[in-house]
């Protein structure tokens, strides 16, 4: 394997000839063999950093044209577009478990941009620090990348997947409008409900989650760029912060603003905690829905069996013919991971010291994993489970007709205590509510039939 010599302020370093990174990336690659090859810096962060480098170069070209020449801007743009498109993914080898500021990943991006551009130009056109990192610091670029990647992930992946699932539930709700079944509270029989009403509860929960997510995500629209090392803006030209936010907005088609207080933007991660709280709320509702579905589908003969779900794969290596609610299981595992990630994001955000938070990579890693997992899981759950849910109306009717809680309809006619006597007698003697009411002399069969009508109780 061939190597070349790269140089930084600490001296010379050998780098593989076929890699575009430089000395600082190589040092991090050598020094942080923690989760190597498995827990890399999220690619969403890498692409957001490239986008911020392009926006910064465009702003610098307007504010400092003598330093950011048209030739340099063109070279940076070409390299950044390659990164954003995914063509250079193999040149970002660094793990999450590195410096807490993300400096080494910032330099990884700077070096790849510079080396790619220099190879294309056939000369030393760009310097990773002086040109690609102009008017920036890792301390303001990395938190900006966290906000950009988080908001882009929510807008482009999470919200579409959530909206599609809501739409599928709305279709299922309409399909089951006339189906009546037994309701349940405390895992015990309760009064009748429409199956469509039960589904509407699932749909409404997700719609509320979407509302909360749309509200919370707006806090991510402020970015730290322009604060540079400690929030003072040292080495950035006047007006850079607002201009670069405009450039980022144009590139992402999502409105971004310069953070009002850069000292806060560098040291606090409260916006990410707040938005991840909305992700956790979504995970809590998805957990409930997935558990409801697998309870209702339990069986097929010895469970509730009120619905059927698609049979996607064999469920057992020893029990022939067994099929399991695997999409529900995958969804609930994802929800647990998101809830665990919420703890990590909150703890990471609490570790800001003075002018910087140095737990940013782990915060970003967990936040983006939550977005990615939730989006993927909702799409899988919708396509491979919810879309194929069918009501077992015979089973629903059987449970409904034998439910003791139909007795609730009698409360306003014979009183709670008399109704309770009917239910207890029916249960203890294994007879119907109608038979118990007649046996106790509280109602005639005709009176019972006139009052206890499940379709009127929903």
Q: Using an 8 Å Cβ cutoff, are 57 and 76 in contact?
A: yes
Predicted local confidence at residue 37, as pLDDT: 83
CB atoms within 10 A of CB 183: 18
Report how far apart, in Å, the C-alpha atoms of 402 and of each of 191, 386, 397, 449, 454 are.
Answer: 12, 28, 9, 14, 11
Alpha carbon distance 92, 25 (integer Å): 9
3-state helix, strand, coil in the chain (%, to 5): 65, 10, 30
Report how far apart, in Å, the C-alpha atoms of 275 and of each of 187, 269, 284, 317, 342 are.
Answer: 33, 10, 14, 42, 10
Predicted local confidence at residue 151, as pLDDT: 98
Predicted local confidence at residue 256, as pLDDT: 98
Beta bridge partners of 185: 188
Compute the radius of gyration of the chain from its Cα atoms: 30
CB atoms within 10 A of CB 23: 21
pLDDT in tens, the chain (458 residues): 899 999 999 999 999 999 999 999 999 999 999 997 899 999 999 999 999 999 999 999 999 999 999 999 999 999 999 999 999 999 999 999 999 999 999 999 999 999 999 999 999 999 999 999 999 999 999 999 999 999 999 999 999 999 999 999 999 999 999 999 999 999 999 999 999 999 999 999 999 999 999 999 999 999 999 999 999 999 999 999 999 999 999 999 999 999 999 999 999 999 999 999 999 999 999 999 999 999 999 999 999 999 999 999 999 999 999 999 999 999 999 999 999 999 999 999 999 999 999 999 999 999 999 999 999 999 999 999 999 999 999 999 999 999 999 999 999 999 999 999 999 999 999 999 999 999 999 999 999 999 999 999 99
* CA 228 remoteness from chain centre: 29
Give the residue among 192, 204, 196, 205 at the shortest CA–CA distance from 171.
196
* Chain length of the chain: 458
Report how far apart, in Å, the C-alpha atoms of 209 and of each of 204, 271, 302, 369, 376 are.
Answer: 9, 17, 34, 18, 17
Predicted local confidence at residue 42, as pLDDT: 98
Residues classed as catalytic: 186, 316
């Amino acid at each position: 394997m061939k190597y070349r010599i790269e140089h930084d302020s600490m001296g010379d370093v050998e780098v593989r000839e076929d890699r575009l990174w430089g000395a600082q990336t190589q040092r991090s690659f050598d020094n942080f063999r923690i989760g190597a090859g498995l827990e890399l810096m999220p690619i969403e962060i890498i692409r957001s950093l490239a986008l911020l480098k392009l926006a910064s170069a465009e702003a610098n070209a307007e504010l400092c044209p003598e330093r950011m020449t048209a030739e340099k801007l063109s070279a940076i743009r070409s390299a950044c577009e390659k990164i954003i498109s995914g063509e250079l993914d193999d040149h970002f080898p660094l793990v999450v478990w590195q410096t807490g500021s993300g400096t080494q990943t910032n330099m990884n991006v700077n070096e790849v941009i510079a080396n790619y551009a220099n190879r294309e130009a056939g000369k030393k056109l760009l310097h990773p620090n002086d040109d690609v990192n102009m008017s920036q610091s890792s301390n303001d670029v990395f938190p900006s990348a966290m906000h950009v990647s988080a908001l882009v992930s929510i807008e482009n992946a999470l919200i579409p997947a959530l909206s599609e699932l809501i739409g599928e539930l709305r279709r299922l709700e309409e399909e089951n409008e006339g189906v009546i079944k037994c309701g349940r509270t405390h895992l015990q029989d309760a009064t009748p409900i429409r199956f469509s009403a039960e589904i509407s509860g699932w749909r409404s929960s997700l719609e509320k989650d979407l509302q909360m997510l749309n509200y919370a995500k707006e806090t991510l629209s402020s970015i730290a760029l322009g604060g540079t090392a400690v929030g003072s803006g040292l080495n950035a030209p006047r007006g850079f912060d607002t201009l670069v936010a405009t450039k980022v907005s144009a590139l992402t088609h999502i409105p971004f603003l310069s953070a009002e207080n850069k000292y806060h933007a560098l040291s606090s991660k409260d916006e990410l905690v707040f938005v991840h709280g909305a992700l956790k709320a979504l995970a809590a509702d998805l957990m409930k829905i997935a558990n409801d579905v697998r309870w209702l589908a339990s069986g097929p003969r010895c469970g509730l069996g009120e619905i059927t779900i698609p049979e996607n794969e064999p469920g057992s290596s020893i029990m022939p013919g067994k099929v399991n609610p695997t999409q529900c299981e995958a969804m609930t595992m994802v929800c647990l991971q998101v809830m665990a990630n919420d703890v990590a994001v909150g703890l990471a955000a609490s570790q800001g010291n003075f002018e910087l938070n140095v737990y940013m990579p782990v915060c970003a890693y967990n936040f983006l994993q939550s977005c990615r997992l939730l989006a993927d899981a909702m799409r899988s759950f919708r396509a491979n489970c919810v879309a194929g849910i069918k009501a077992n109306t015979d089973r629903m009717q059987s449970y409904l007709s034998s439910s003791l809680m139909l007795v609730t309809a009698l409360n306003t006619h014979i009183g709670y205590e008399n109704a309770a006597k009917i239910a207890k007698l029916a249960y203890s003697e294994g007879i119907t509510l109608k038979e118990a009411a007649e046996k106790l002399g509280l109602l005639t069969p005709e009176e019972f039939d006139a009052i206890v009508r499940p379709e009127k109780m929903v």
